[in-house]
Each structure stands twice: as C-alpha cells, then as structure tokens.
Structure 1
C-alpha cells in the first residue's frame, strides 16, 4: 500500500487566545463560516495558550497574541492584528470584498489603527476580568 500523501500545508494558520471570551466567540463564528476551508486544511486556528512558544522565532510571545491575532501565511510570513484579520476575511466565503475594501493600500493604515485601538481595549478588559 503506498503511503498516504502528507496533509496540505495551510494557506493560513492563526493563533488566538481561547481564554478571551470575545476572541473565542469570534473565532468560533469564523470557523463555522470556514468549515469547508478548515476541513480542507486551508486555514487552521490554534490556541496560543497550548503552544506558547509557537511564534517565538518571530519574537511573539503569548502576551503578544493575547493582544492581537497572529498568523502565518503559506510562505511562513507573519501577519499580525488587522493584517491577520484581512487574511482571514480573504479566505472566508462572502468576505473577500471586506478584505479588499479594508485591506487596500489607502484604507489599510486606518484599518490597522482601528483594529489596534479595539485590541488595546479588549486586552485591558481581559486583564481586568482575569481571562488568562
């Protein structure tokens, strides 16, 4: 019997904080929308709390991922914050328009600013509530 082919290399691997109720709910909702892509291994969501050293080679620790989404594209390029969210939307059926709109070179700086402010507020809330 010939060996089975290796699993496909994900086009996007995303690390997030499952202990944050908002993050966890958002990724659950997104995963449900991406069922076909997730089953095919195109996109993978991983809990940084289970893999605290996963992004150490990029200088990203658990706290960095608790602050902002982090992901790796198929080429091993690190995506953080809004850039990671844009990559997720790019792979989500029906959301490519959102990725194109918020990820275009004119709007992307504003997208990053809005994402970072929201992430800062959410991070502070999680710390106050003890979601670690």
Structure 2
C-alpha cells in the first residue's frame, strides 16, 4: 500500500522561542490553530534557517515571519494577520489589522524592536 505524501503546509511560521513573550504568543496561537496545516519553525533552535531563507538572523529573531502557500514572505503585522485569518475566532482581528496596516505596521515594528532589545539585554541569545 502506498502512503500518500503529506499535504504541503498552508504556511510556515518562523518565530523566536528565546523571546519569552514571543514564545508564549506562539504557543497560544499553535493551540488555537490545531488542525491547520501550519509548519512552525523556531529560529532559536534552527539559526541556519536565516541563511536558507536569505534573511539576516537578527531580523528573523526580531520579527515574526510567515511564508504563505504561494511562497510570499509576510513579516510583522502582515504575518500575524495571515495567521489570524486562518484561526477561528480571530478572523476579525486579521481584517482589522489589514485595514489599519498604516498604524499596525509601525506599531508592530516599535514593539518588536523593544522586545528584541530587551531580550538582547537579558542575554536570551
């Protein structure tokens, strides 16, 4: 009997588990997305992913990245919106963030930069 190939993931999420805030958020999101064809890749455990993706490791650590099924790399608020759009009970949040990208994008960048610096200061990586 032939085993069928596993379905390609709808998205691949690149996150940084060394950041306690980021790790807690991803753990919660993974729970809400059980049953979705999402591949979760921890850049802290797999730093070589940066070179494979052609992305600076520090940039990959600083912000959430999601490669969608079409191969587009979404970063920051757009990455979150892509995940929330697939999550029951959070689709409204995806629509809100997308409609307010002019605010959500810069706000995400500021928060991500502060978290990144805090984690570097704490010696998390």
**Which TM bucket (shorter chain)?**
over 0.9
Unmatched 5+ residue regions in structure 2?
none
For residues 54 and 75 of structure 1, the distance between their equivalents in structure 2, rounded to whole angstroms, comes to 19
- Encode CA deviations 1:22-74: one digit per residue, 9 max, x unaligned: 1111100111111121xxxx212110123323243553132111110111001
TM-score when scaled to structure 2? 0.92
SS, match of residue 91 in structure 1:
coil
Contact 2:50–2:60 (CA<8 Å) still a contact in 1? no
Q: Which residue of 2 aligns with 1:23?
A: 22
For residues 22 and 6 of structure 2, the distance between their equivalents in structure 1, rounded to whole angstroms, comes to 27
For residues 9 and 58 of structure 1, the distance between their equivalents in structure 2, rounded to whole angstroms, comes to 18
Moved over 6 A (4+): none
CA RMSD of aligned residues (A): 1.4
Contact 2:43–2:49 (CA<8 Å) still a contact in 1? yes
For residues 76 and 16 of structure 1, the distance between their equivalents in structure 2, rounded to whole angstroms, comes to 17
For residues 71 and 53 of structure 1, the distance between their equivalents in structure 2, rounded to whole angstroms, comes to 17
Residue 97, structure 1, aligned to residue 92, structure 2: yes
Q: How many pairs are equivalent?
A: 125
Unmatched 5+ residue regions in structure 1?
none
How is 1:1-132 mapped onto 2 (pairs within 5 angstroms)?
1=1, 3-37=2-36, 42-56=37-51, 58-104=53-99, 107-132=100-125
TM-score when scaled to structure 1? 0.88
How far apart are residue 112 of structure 1 and its match? 0.5
